Structure 1
Amino acid sequence: MENPAAKSTNPWSWVPTLYFAQGIPYVAVMTLSVVMYKNLKVSNTDIALYTSWLYLPWVIKPLWSPLVDLFRTKRFWIVALQFVVGGSLALVALTLPGPMFFKMTLAIFWLMAFSSATHDIAADGFYLLALPEHQQAAFVGVRSTFYRLAMIAGQGGLVYLAGSVQEWTGDFVRAWTIVFGVLAVFFVVIAAVHSFTLPKPASDVTSPRKDNFFASYFTVFAEFFKKKEILSILAFLLLYRLAEAQLLKLVNPFLLDARDQGGLGLTVKHVGVVYGTVGPIALTLGGLAGGVVISRFGLKRMIWPMLVIMHVPNAVFILLATTQPENLLAIGSAVAVEQFGYGFGFTAYMVYMMMVAQGEHKTAHYALCTGFMALGMMLPGMAAGWIQDHVGYVNFFVWVMIATIPSFVAAAFLKIDPAFGKKAEAAVK
């Protein structure tokens, strides 16, 4: 059944900018913070542990996702929270030069993470309300593309900018202060733009409330956990990215660490190019290819090939850690192979979450799915730095390959609607 949306509004006029804006705070919290703390001499163990805790807002966001349904419109939440995120970015820039920068910036990243997680609830719900089902599947690749472009701008362009400013000033604190200041100004501007450009779909209204608020609140959760095959659903959501959750936490430290410590000894600027630009471009292309494949063949038919293509390329990091090449082209090519596979396979995960969320409470149920996804990223990521510090990079990447096995087991128990996703051949045009 299609949603009553504002069909006269072309999705190309708002889907790209909405998901670009969604990606900016996430990349700031999850990626820029890691590079920044590494530059400021924080240990791998502390980086992995404390920045993994920043996933918590995305894990527990289902607890307040019904509030987004029950109060105001999704459009209101999107614009308001974008201004809050812009203010948080400015606060990071203001507190970095202080003596307690680590504690202060972590606290602000927490605020940013909570705001971003709530923004994700509203944005994903808005997406499901403003587009009919066939376009939801078709625009998976488009939204992924612009989300990844935000990653390129953030972990590519801004990391490169930080490296350039540091080379000019000799001061990483000043470099990252400038980076977060620039990012704050940009995000406030894009929030102001969205206050005018986002459409107003007829279905974007507050959900009807029962006389008892708490009855309405808990009904949303109860209906999710009454879904058929809920245990298989939860196992898949938690285990699909078990290996990738650990890998992602240590890629930047691996690229930056000195060669005698098992790393590749790249400069910050080189990391901005290799992992911040080449990687997200490959990730984007993989996501686009995944969206096209699912639109043509359906999720049920493609889930196993996409699972294999996502996980097997992780082995390139074993090769990099073993050989420690100095050639940037070789390093960039290996990263591109891994990131393309990750983008291709992750599209299947996104479409599966959309399938699970179908029903009366799409916004809250999609938020529940992404909450379990975030939990599946947070817990393995917390231990990744400790594991690497004890076994070294080569053995750590071997362990990552072993950690792909549970996702294959979880996929074997899925029940997938054969028709879902296979309705969108011309919907993105």
Structure 2
Amino acid sequence: MFKSMGVPNEQIARWTGLLGLAWVFKALWSPFLELARSKKRLVVAFQLLGAAALAALALGLQLPAWFALAIAALAVVSLASSTHDIAADGLYIISLSARQQAMYAGWQGAFFNTGKFLSLGGLVILAGYLEGRIGVAPAWTVVFALMAAAMAGLGLYHGWALPGTLTVPPADASLRGVARTLVEVVKDFFAKDGIWMYIVFIVAFRLAEGQIQTIGPLFLRDARALGGLGLSTGEVGIVYGTAGTVAFLVGSIGGGYFTAWLGLRRALPFLILAMNLPNLVFCYLSAAQPASLTLIAAALSIEMFGYGFGFVGIILFIMQVVARGRFQTAHYALGTGFMQLGLVLSKMVSGDIQAALGYRSFFLWVLVCALPGLVLTRFLRFDDK
């Protein structure tokens, strides 16, 4: 949307990166969510809040200060979605065994990330179709209104469908008691054996991915004279929303079963290598600049498969290695907060790096950024009990 409405790459990367800060700091309010016995109610409430914020975004695009209003509405979406993530993962953890968590992590990751590719696929095709008929801003107003309606529908559906697994709230449910719990949660987290190595690995795991996921779609849209592929809004939706989405789902689900079969310790290096496939794909696309939409779609299908297959690794690493202990839900939130920190940092600087290097050199740089995560796997400790 921002690209279609003329926002420069640097601003797109910087502001969308900043919006991710809610996911970095979400663990600071995660202990307060432990007061709610029903994680299901929290999940539904924040889905409905997200729907309201998306509706506000749709309306804001029609006003003169549309960019500031869009960022404000998306900030509410970010806060709602990050808090929802804590509650949803908490419900996932307390409702499933360790083996079930591994088996269904691929499905969880698939649905988590399918939102990205739905927005880059079908909704972008619709936006591209509408842009030429009713204008850019009205087209995206329609798209975000549809997203708001879908989110509200999902919230109502989950109010009926989700399991009502209950948890026992803390003995001291006062605000002061929860604050003490937060301090205890943070101390317990940083007292874990090898935690600093885990944090460095988590941040490094997403450094390359964050840059690729931010600049990749902008590269597809930019003119060939500027080093891009010159695709239209609708064409980007086609290549991501067809074979790319299928490849991602297959990779994500396959990664979960692959890890359940091989075990996380042995599977992790393969999962990291799979996460490098998108880097290689964009290196090829930036060097060859193919004109065939079929060839571009095939290349992006390889990217999507590798991303889906490899993303399972970081989710299970945080869930089964980092989050173990007395405060599983809160520690999982802390772990995913550091995971998001790696993504935010890489997103925020990606636009400036790309502007300085150009697309071809930028994608080579991103390939190098993926190496530290692979090297660090040799220094990680796993408790196999």
Shorter-chain TM-score bucket reads: over 0.9
In structure 2, the partner of 1:66 is 31
Deviates further, 128-137 or 365-374 = 128-137
Contact 2:353 2:362 in 1 (8 A): yes
Alignment of 1:7-22 (within 5 A): none
CA apart distance, 1:361: 1.3
In structure 1, the partner of 2:378 is 412
1:194 is the counterpart of 2:158: yes
Structure 1 residue corresponding to 2:280, chosen from 315, 330, 346: 315
CA apart distance, 1:358: 2.3
1:84 is the counterpart of 2:49: yes
Letter in 2 for 1:231: W
In structure 2, the partner of 1:281 is 246
Structure 1 pair 216/147, CA: closer, same or farther in 2 (3 Å)? closer
Contact 2:208 2:367 in 1 (8 A): yes
Alignment of 1:88-99 (within 5 A): 88-99=53-64
Alignment length (residue pairs): 382
Contact 1:274 1:332 in 2 (8 A): yes
Contact 1:152 1:281 in 2 (8 A): no
Structure 2 residue corresponding to 1:209, chosen from 155, 163, 172: 172
Structure 1 residue corresponding to 2:360, chosen from 376, 391, 394: 394
The residue matched to 1:37 in structure 2 has which SS? coil
CA apart distance, 1:38: 0.3
1:157-205: per-residue Cα shift (whole Å, max 9, x none)? 1111111111222x11000000111111111111111112211124x34
Alignment of 1:192-341 (within 5 A): 192-202=156-166, 204-209=167-172, 212-213=176-177, 214-341=179-306
Letter in 2 for 1:195: G
1:33-87: per-residue Cα shift (whole Å, max 9, x none)? xxx0000000001100111101100001011111111245211211111110010
Measure the CA separation in 1 of the matches of 2:278 and 2:114: 22
User: % of aligned pairs identical?
Assistant: 39
Measure the CA separation in 2 of the matches of 1:168 and 1:76: 41
Measure the CA separation in 2 of the matches of 1:358 and 1:391: 42
Deviates further, 172-181 or 276-285 = 276-285
1:116-175: per-residue Cα shift (whole Å, max 9, x none)? 100000000110011122211111112122234333432211111111111222x11000
Letter in 1 for 2:114: L
Measure the CA separation in 1 of the matches of 2:294 and 2:121: 16
1:88-138: per-residue Cα shift (whole Å, max 9, x none)? 010001110111100111011001100110000000011001112221111
Measure the CA separation in 1 of the matches of 2:28 and 2:181: 13
In structure 1, the partner of 2:148 is 184
CA apart distance, 1:312: 4.4
1:262-310: per-residue Cα shift (whole Å, max 9, x none)? 1101011110111244333222211111111111110111111222222
In structure 1, the partner of 2:136 is 172
1:116 is the counterpart of 2:81: yes
In structure 2, the partner of 1:25 is none
Contact 1:155 1:277 in 2 (8 A): no
Measure the CA separation in 2 of the matches of 1:243 and 1:182: 32
Measure the CA separation in 1 of the matches of 2:262 and 2:154: 36
1:107 is the counterpart of 2:68: no
Structure 1 residue corresponding to 2:335, chosen from 369, 372, 376: 369
Measure the CA separation in 2 of the matches of 1:217 and 1:90: 34
Structure 2 residue corresponding to 1:382, chosen from 338, 344, 348: 348
Structure 2 gap segments, 5+ residues each:
none
Measure the CA separation in 1 of the matches of 2:84 and 2:64: 31
In structure 1, the partner of 2:315 is 350
1:154 is the counterpart of 2:119: yes
Structure 1 pair 106/313, CA: closer, same or farther in 2 (3 Å)? closer
The residue matched to 2:379 in structure 1 has which SS? coil
Query: What root-mean-square deviation, in Å, do the aligned CA atoms of Structure 1 and Structure 2 show?
Result: 1.5
In structure 1, the partner of 2:100 is 135
